[in-house]
Structure 1
Amino acid sequence: MLIAMNERRELINLVHWQKRTSLLPLKKQKFYCPQCERPVILKVGAVNIPHFAHKKHSDCSESFAEGETLEHMQAKIQLYSLFERSSYTPHLEPTLRNCAQRPDLYVKDREQHYVIEYQWTPISKKQLQKRTITYAEAKYPSFWLTKPPHTLRPNLIQMIRLTPFYRTVYEMNDRPYLYYYDPRIQNFYYIAPLLHVQNDRYIGHVQKIPYEEQTVPFRREILKLSSSEIERYVHYYVHARMRRIEQAIRYERGNDTLLTRCHDLKLLPFELPNWIGVPLAESHSFRQHTLDWQLHYIHHCLMGAEDWSSEETIVTYSARYQLSQAERHAVEQYRQFLEKIQVTDLRETLPETTYFRHFETTLVAKG
């Protein structure tokens, strides 16, 4: 940890000590953890960043700061310095009222306040959700930054794989972006809008922002996409949809598959209309490709002679297949889409302009 109390109960912030040699006289003093108030040791080595550590293993050390990576500590120091130069008042590793956790940073100005957590190594979805909910219950909005994946190509629209950890971070942050920060090269990465394709695959626009150009608070608004950028999203999405059909033809066997539904509807897989398998703002609620769950819905409606644009159909469909609330919301979005385009026959296809406009509307909604 980078913050500790001295014997006078004054907080000592190691970020403000620029030289290691200036810290050496402090090693003779006694320091205590602000959280548990047990003794901690000031460690000033030749390699690691100077820091405090508990003298022995404790419940406090399990919940905060022990065994942090070099990158995590670098990120905390750099983020603290970034906010220190802004209109915000930053607090490093604060002890918060009514909260059993100590975030990496707590920042506030006259209008807003929130805690910032930086996560270099992944934690479980359960841990991340628990910590976020704990902050929320104590009235502290939270914001998460994470280590960037190795596969990012800055300033390009590309296919991106998100692990469960990264997906949870995206869902827990009440902002349209997925945010990364690499303290080693001091670059921020923003990905938005994210368009779900299938399982852990998304399409996203990656923007790189050097540390010295970063402003606070972190960006909330989605930059407006150009027509060529939207076309790039369409290209990736259509290609992924075609790959899904090819995968079904080559590998799927059984009685409840994309192929059997096409057979029931008297269509070849490549003849499926382009309004089945379209992106929606809530498509990520299903881990399947949109082509699968949307075809399942259309198949259900046609086999049961139900109106696919009817609200009553959503009720019966959701009950029959025991959809979660998020899945039901996604299907409702699809119903509204079908109601809007007013297609009545599987042989109808959307004009290219209408198809493009739907992508444009969806990408704006993602922001």
Structure 2
Amino acid sequence: MFLAKNETGQQVLAVDGQKGVNYFCSVCDSPVILKYGKIKVPHFSHQHIEHCTRYLYKRESLRHLQLKHDLYKELNNYFNIAMEYYLADIDQIPDLLINHHTALEIQLSRISPDLLSSRSRGYYKQGIDVIWLLEDKKIKKEGGLLKLNHFQISAITKGGLYTISEADSLIKRYDIRHHLGFNRFTYKLEEVPYPQILKARQSTVDLGYFKMTRDQIKYLVEKERAQRSVLNPTLSYMYQLNLQVKDLPKFLYFVSPLEKYILNSPLEWKLYIYYHTSRNRFALNDFRRFIKLRVMSDLPDRDFLIDQLLRFYINIFRFSE
């Protein structure tokens, strides 16, 4: 950490600290040590980390400290920046707090989606937005699509995934658009200049529907078959409907932007409706249970999402007719 209190209770930046002076953690009041290690910037460290319950889950690496220091210096040219500001009501300390309303969190290591989302909800309760900065080199691309893990998906806020390059501190935003199955997403990439970091929010472009190609549909079905599960819903409904890839109705090719919020594949949930309506067995409560939501920082309301998915299905079904 870069901030600590001296013996008179004044906050001191590590760069202004002096050897031989006693410093204390701003959160737990336990002693901290001023260090000038091999990294480029000085920092404070607990003598015994177990004394500070707040820092038990947030052991910052030297890379993390360096990036936080570099971002603080750069963003301080454009915004009112607070570093390591303790939010007592939610017991959280954002890496940086921009203009008192946006938390900037550098998250280079993987944590559970539940923990990340829980921290985001803590900020939202305080009326604070949050931007999670993940390590850019860990973002995988596959066939022109983003291939994300569940941790990375949970860090998406307002439709965008933010990353930072350790080499040059360059910030990027991946505008996440449509889910094409197996955590693969269409996207648009943009670099985010520091002065624009608060403006690079949810895309104002009406994304509309995306139509998958026959090859993309075939890929989905082949991936489902590779799982070798007799309980696979996609394959089960295709079998019950006597459908092969070449026979799939064209309305099943369309994807809504809202599908990025659900775990069900683009074929799975549409085939569920198609099958049950064709047998006059569709029940809303059963469909609600069938739809599995992702763990994400700003997930839409479940009822709203279910309603919009059904409206989307009706629209594409009618369009295909």
Give TM-score scaled by structure 1 length.
Answer: 0.73
Task: In structure 2, give the amino acid aligned to 1:276.
Answer: L
Distance 1:223 1:135 in 2: 24
Q: Would the alpha carbon gap of residues 191 and 296 (structure 1) be closer, same or farther in structure 2, given more than 3 Å must change? A: same
Is the contact made by 1:192 and 1:205 (CA closer than 8 Å) also made in structure 2? yes
2:81 to 85, 90, 93: 90
Q: Which position in structure 1 is the counterpart of 2:298? A: none
Q: Which position in structure 1 is the counterpart of 2:9? A: 9
**Deviation, structure 1 residue 62:** 5.2
Distance 2:54 2:19 in 1: 24
Distance 1:183 1:64 in 2: 24
State the Cα deviation string for residues 262-316 of structure 1 (Å, max 9, x = none). 3443443311112114211221344232112211210111022x6xxxxxx5525
Is the contact made by 1:71 and 1:184 (CA closer than 8 Å) also made in structure 2? no
Q: Which position in structure 2 is the counterpart of 1:318? A: 287
Q: Would the alpha carbon gap of residues 73 and 253 (structure 1) be closer, same or farther in structure 2, given more than 3 Å must change? A: closer
1:268 and 2:239 aligned: no
2:220 to 244, 252, 260: 244
1:303 and 2:294 aligned: no
1:99 and 2:87 aligned: no
Is the contact made by 1:117 and 1:143 (CA closer than 8 Å) also made in structure 2? yes
Task: In structure 2, give the amino acid aligned to 1:292.
Answer: E
Is the contact made by 2:252 and 2:267 (CA closer than 8 Å) also made in structure 1? yes
Structure 1: runs of 5+ lacking an equivalent: 18-22, 307-312, 351-367
Distance 2:58 2:223 in 1: 46
Q: Which position in structure 1 is the counterpart of 2:201? A: 220
State the Cα deviation string for residues 68-98 of structure 1 (Å, max 9, x = none). 1122112211221232111x21111112342
Q: Percent identity?
A: 20
Q: Which position in structure 2 is the counterpart of 1:279? A: 255
Q: Which position in structure 2 is the counterpart of 1:60? A: 52
Q: Describe how 1:10-49 pairs up with structure 2 within 5 A.
A: 10-14=10-14, 26-47=18-39, 49=41
Between the two proteins, the alignment pairs up a number of residues equal to 314
Q: Would the alpha carbon gap of residues 168 and 194 (structure 1) be closer, same or farther in structure 2, given more than 3 Å must change? A: same
Q: Which position in structure 2 is the counterpart of 1:203? A: 186
State the Cα deviation string for residues 82-128 of structure 1 (Å, max 9, x = none). 32111x211111123423122111221xxx62222111111112221
Q: Which position in structure 2 is the counterpart of 1:180? A: 163
Q: Which position in structure 2 is the counterpart of 1:50? A: 42
State the Cα deviation string for residues 168-190 of structure 1 (Å, max 9, x = none). 111xx3x2211111232221111
Q: Which position in structure 2 is the counterpart of 1:191? A: 174
Give TM-score scaled by structure 2 length.
Answer: 0.82
1:276 aligned counterpart, secondary structure: helix
Task: In structure 2, give the amino acid aligned to 1:162.
Answer: L
Q: Would the alpha carbon gap of residues 90 and 158 (structure 1) be closer, same or farther in structure 2, given more than 3 Å must change? A: same
Is the contact made by 2:270 and 2:313 (CA closer than 8 Å) also made in structure 1? no
Task: In structure 2, give the amino acid aligned to 1:37.
Answer: D
2:251 aligned counterpart, secondary structure: coil
Q: Would the alpha carbon gap of residues 147 and 61 (structure 1) be closer, same or farther in structure 2, given more than 3 Å must change? A: farther
Q: Would the alpha carbon gap of residues 269 and 10 (structure 1) be closer, same or farther in structure 2, given more than 3 Å must change? A: same
1:296 aligned counterpart, secondary structure: helix
2:217 aligned counterpart, secondary structure: helix
2:49 aligned counterpart, secondary structure: coil
Is the contact made by 1:190 and 1:206 (CA closer than 8 Å) also made in structure 2? yes
